Structure 1
Amino acid sequence: MVTKTQGGAPVAEAEIERKYDLAADRPIPPLVPAGPVTNQAEPRVDVLDATYFDTADFRLAQAGITLRRRLGGTDEGWHLKLPVSADRREELRLPLSGKPDKVPGALAKLVRAHTLGAKLVQAAHLRTERTSYALLDAEGRELATLTDDVVTGEAGGEKAHLDRWREIEIELSPGTALEVLDSLDEAVVNAGAERSKWPSKLRRLTDELVPSAGAASGSVLADYLAEQLDALRRNDIGVRRDVEDAVHQMRVASRRLRSALRTFRRSLDADVANELAAELRWLGGELGPARDNEVMAERLHDEVKALPSELVLGNVGQLMTRHFAREAEEAKARAIRALDSKRYTNLLRALEKLVAKPQKIKDGTKELRKAVARSDRKLRKAVAAANALRPGAEQEAALHEVRKKAKRARYAADTVRPVAGKKLRKWRKNVKAVQSTLGTHHDVVVTREVLRLLGLRAYAESENAFTYGLLYGRSVATAEAAHRRFTGEWQEVRKGSRPKWLK
């Protein structure tokens, strides 16, 4: 599916394909019939000339990202390809414009979390002699395209690298079921082709030049931190493109990183861990308004829709839409300013430096278990403090602290998962239930103030404020119900199954 965006932003297209190696003297595999494919269109021949851009140390290639300027074919232009899964990538396109040796700013900004300010230079050049065959079903609809490519490549770097090879690709057309790719895959392999181990032509050409990345380090904590740093970078691109749920996922990654640094700081350089945790707290604060606004808007719109029409008095939906749209615009601008800042770039550099030195991390099983046990004790202490308070604003704030301690305990369990047993997973499940319930509690508590402000605004505009008062009252009841549910769930945490070392 192709999604076009406004204001000169790239056009996005999902790309589902598989690549195969085929000897130069072998004929193209017969794919008629294969699954629903019953016919093959006449071949189309193109010569594609592509220049690939990367940093001098191939940072984009290490992340599985491809950035190129291509001439020839039906889709010539600037292409940014982002990995999604083994067979799926997302391709962002811009038309040819500007200087051929300068990457458009709209694309360069999207990969800043990977380049960290390093210059994008011409890293490789590929010339492809392509023969394409459209694969059709019985009704003449195009299901996929088979391409037969003869590729000549040249890569730069500290030492030049030249290569020439042949490969074939099968790319599904938009709307074609993934099962079709499986049936075509079987036919191609049976005809003598071999699945390529390379995700892209560029990666094949530059393999000897690109530093290895992604292998397990042997350190549980370093691998977890690296995983969350990768998630932070992936969702950085989504936030910049305003992709649904990207702010939430990026905020989760930043929270997981911060939680790990605080929970396991005794396994790290304490000063470095504390400094990074403080910077991640800043980042979470910059992303927070955008995510909080999303959650609140969805919750209140759903609650209004669920009300009987006779209880919705005035232009409730219109007023709420105006309010949240204005808040969303301001929150997004704030998030983008943070991502464009030098402070954020320095944070990414520091995190990268930390995970690159796993040998300096002390995270034996004993140390990891002690850290999880400490998070459990802090959670219990927070619950006791909240239970000692009378109902009201002070207790609500204390329950929010319990929620944060529960989240940290859950994240601690996630971190040590590779060396933990089933009993810790059960404990984690119970802790997550507490966190989820108190998350609902906090959401409705925070929503009350917004409802009060909306009611005041409605009154100022001579609108009826009845519905906002009704929703406010319901939020009080919802918070009380969540508190009661938490009480029962906490007993499951206290009495439920857990490892002996956690007692």
Structure 2
Amino acid sequence: MTEIELKLAVSADPVARAQALAALKAAMTRARAQKLDSWYFDTADEALREGGFTLRVRRAGKQLLQTVKQETGSVSQRGEWERPIDGQAPTRRQRDSAACIDFAMIRETPLADLAEAVRPDLRQAFHISVKRAFLSLGEANAQIEAVLDAGEIMVPGPTAAEPIFEVELELKSGDKSALYTLARRLAAQAPLSISLISKAERGYRLAAGASMRPAKGSQPRLGDAMTAGAAFEAICNVCLHDFMLNARLLTVRPEPASPVEAIHQGRVALRRLRAALALFRPIADDEYFAAADNELKRMARLFGDARDRDVMQEAGAAGDELTAEAREFAAWRQSKRMALRAALIAAIEARPWRIFLIDFCEWLGSGGWRAHKAERAETAKFIRKRLAKRRKMLLKQGEILESLDPEARHKVRIDAKKLRYMTEFFVDCPEVADKKSVGALLKRLETIQSSLGAMHDAETTLDAAEADLRLWRAETGRADAGELSHGDADVLEVSVEDSQKWLGEAVRAFAKLAKDDPF
């Protein structure tokens, strides 16, 4: 069976939680509460998770329930099979035991073959304990049950725990659009954000010690029989998921552990998402498409501004090598850096962005583009044609690369990066191209991107440092100050030989790219 639900997350901030509770109480018609303990099982190398499955045993009162969940690539829908089982819930002394699992039930689900293959290696991965409030919410033409979970995730072994506070909206009857309407209403009243991060994933990350670690881009699960529209939805959801993992870290108070990397990976996730929109534009371009892309571009620009400041600051000279005046300049630049970071975090937490994400997720599942005939096209055929066209356009730019000015070269770099992102989505799809030829293509694109990127960074970072110096002197009244010894201009200056070397690397990569045609 398929469940239709949305998850809304709220920060650990007490004020935010109080606002969320008030919004829910205002919308509910009746409520009941229950304590739930859930144990999740997998192998040491996470075979079930890698296969797209979750296996859970839950104690609800005196009843023991076993659930199998399967990823579908959709925001609001996923496969779920559940039934009561006999036996005893795991105890603290049975952390490595899977004795409570009912394999007869599993044999009636798509997990059957995989579970049987890894049966001897199954063990408890983590335990989630929550107090759940069931709230019945009325919405036009629909009946929705909201559950408010407050508790924690715990992993076996050394004490490790992470708090949970989130709302799940499940459609019991009626139109799916009612879920999104209610989500928008709640998000307008309280700092709630749509989330594609499941409790299970948070448990896995906690068990791996990666709970507060920035996340790199992940691969979409693309089935052989997927239509182009289904592939587009799955890819966008993966990019959104990766973005949410990193954006979540930036809103941790008082300061995230790795803000520089979280900003970088969040920016990459948005770039991948916009690359997906560009790749699938022939089927996804409807009345909402341009507005969605513009809003993603706006947020990507905020991430880009913050990221550029991080790179610029880290490229400067070490503090011990600076004069007193240069240290004042460095402190001024650091204040600009932190101001951009604060602006980014405020934008992530702001109501317009939170509402946009709800709108975007609804559009992915049921937007006007779903009526396009091309949405039902065969994925591999559609993608080969699109990637071949992008490759051909890039090669034309490569033919005149040496004659281009810095701005035009930078555009070539961006186009190479987009093609790399687009191609990476299909690395595990032999129907699109074989893995060896795709690997060769990606290698050429990475060389082009890194070489032209080094040239661009050398040109723009020095210009930005000099512009900062002029602005700092104007703001502080030091227009007549001399050169800053060991300042950024000294550190960042790049020789003509370096620029020629990078350009040569890009030209050679283009020559190899022209010979390799995986599509």
Q: TM-score by structure 1 length?
A: 0.57
Q: Note closer, same or farther for the CA distance 1:363–1:445 as it changes in structure 2 (3 Å cut).
A: farther
Q: Distance between the aligned counterparts of 1:315 and 1:475, measured in 2?
A: 28
User: Deviations for 1:365-395, whole angstroms, at most 9, x for unmatched residues?
Assistant: 1111111112112212333354333xxxxx1
Kept in 2, the 8 Å contact 1:126–1:151? The answer is yes
Counterparts in 2 of 1:435 and 1:124: CA distance versus 1, 3 Å:
farther
1:69-92 per-residue CA deviation (whole Å, 9 max, x = no partner) reads xxxxxxxxxxx7xxxxxxxxxxx6
CA distance in 1, matches of 2:466, 2:282: 45
Check the 8 A contact 2:36/2:131 in 1, yes or no. Answer: no
Q: CA deviation at 1:256?
A: 0.8
Structural mapping, 1:138-217, within 5 Å: 152=61, 166-169=89-92, 188=97, 195=123, 200-202=128-130
How far the C-alpha of 1:292 sits from its partner, in A, is 0.8
Matched residue, 1:157: none
Quote the Cα distance in structure 1 between the aligned partners of 2:128 and 2:491: 53
Deviation string for 1:403-450 (max 9, x for gaps)?
Answer: 110011111102233423221222122112211222222222111113
1:200 is paired with a residue whose SS is strand
State how far apart, in whole Å, the 1-side matches of 2:513 and 2:445 are: 6
Cα distance per residue 1:283-308 (max 9 Å; x no partner): 1112221111111111224xx58xxx
Q: Give the counterpart letter for 1:167 in structure 2.
A: P
Tell me, in whole angstroms, the C-alpha distance in 1 between the residues paired with 2:496 and 2:376: 47
Determine the structure 2 residue equivalent to 1:343. 352
**Aligned CA-pair RMSD:** 4.5
Is the 2:33–2:132 Cα contact (8 Å) retained in structure 1?
no
**Following TM superposition, where does structure 1 have runs of at least 4 consecutive aligned residues deviating by more than 6 angstroms?**
161-165, 190-194, 203-210, 212-217
- Bigger CA drift: 205-214 or 278-287? 205-214
Distance 1:480 1:315 in 2: 36
1:271, CA displacement in angstroms? 3.9
Structure 1 residue aligned with 2:233, among 222, 231, 244?
Answer: 222
Secondary structure of 2:90's match?
A: strand
Tell me which of 332, 337, 357 is aligned to 2:341: 332
CA distance in 2, matches of 1:127, 1:470: 61
Structure 2 partner of 1:280: 296
8 Å CA contact retained: 1:231, 1:253: yes
Asked if 2 retains the 8 angstrom alpha-carbon contact of 1:262 and 1:277, the reply is: no
Q: What residue is the counterpart of 1:424 in the other structure?
A: 438
**What SS does structure 1 have at the residue aligned with 2:394?**
helix
Secondary structure (helix, strand or coil) at the match of 2:251 reads helix
Question: Secondary structure at the residue paired with 1:228?
Answer: helix
Contact 2:35/2:131, CA 8 A, preserved across alignment: no
Aligned position for 1:126? 35
Residue 452 in structure 1 maps to residue 463 in structure 2: no
Query: How does 1:307-318 map onto structure 2 within 5 Å?
Result: 314-315=323-324, 318=327
Q: What is the distance in 2 between the residues matched to 1:191 and 1:263? A: 47
Question: How has the CA–CA distance of structure 1 residues 442 and 356 changed in structure 2, closer, same or farther, with 3 Å as cutoff?
Answer: same
Q: Structure 2: how far apart are the matches of 1:122 and 1:441? A: 61
Unaligned runs of 5+ in 2: 38-57, 64-82, 103-121, 135-144, 148-167, 172-195, 199-220
Q: Percent identity?
A: 19
The answer on whether the counterparts of 2:458 and 2:493 sit within 8 Å (CA) in structure 1 is no
Aligned to 2:307: 291
Equivalent residues of 1:413, 1:428 under 8 A apart: yes
Aligned residue in 1 for 2:451: 437
Structure 1 pair 362/425, CA: closer, same or farther in 2 (3 Å)?
farther
**Structure-2 separation of matches of 1:150 and 1:350:** 35
- C-alpha contact 1:427 1:493 (8 A) present in aligned 2: yes
Structure 1 unpaired stretches of 5+: 1-55, 68-79, 81-91, 129-148, 155-160, 171-183, 390-394
Q: Give, in whole Å, the separation in 1 of the partners of 2:450 and 2:462.
A: 19
Provide the residue aligned with 2:411 in structure 1.
Answer: 401
* Alignment map for 1:7-406 (pairs within 5 Å): 59-60=7-8, 103-104=17-18, 124-126=33-35, 152=61, 166-169=89-92, 188=97, 195=123, 200-202=128-130, 218=226, 219-241=230-252, 242-243=255-256, 244=258, 245-301=261-317, 314-315=323-324, 318-319=327-328, 321-357=330-366, 361-364=375-378, 365-389=380-404, 395-406=405-416
Q: Is the 8 Å Cα contact of residues 410 and 431 (structure 1) preserved in structure 2?
A: yes
Paired with 2:131 and 2:275, the residues of 1 have a C-alpha distance of: 35
Q: Which amino acid aligns with 1:168?
A: T
Alignment partners' CA distance in 1, 2:439 and 2:332: 42
Q: Indicate conservation of the 8 Å contact 1:267/1:367, yes or no.
A: no
Task: State the Cα deviation string for residues 441-497 of structure 1 (Å, max 9, x = none).
Answer: 2222111113323554577474543434433533665444322322222222223x3
Residues 151 and 415 of structure 1: CA distance in aligned 2, closer, same or farther (over 3 Å): closer
Residues 225 and 260 of structure 1 are in contact (CA less than 8 Å); yes or no, is this contact kept in structure 2?
yes
Segment of structure 1 superposing worse, 161-170 or 261-270: 161-170
Return the letter of the residue paired with 2:365.
Answer: A
Paired residues of 1:236 and 1:250 also in contact (CA < 8 A): yes
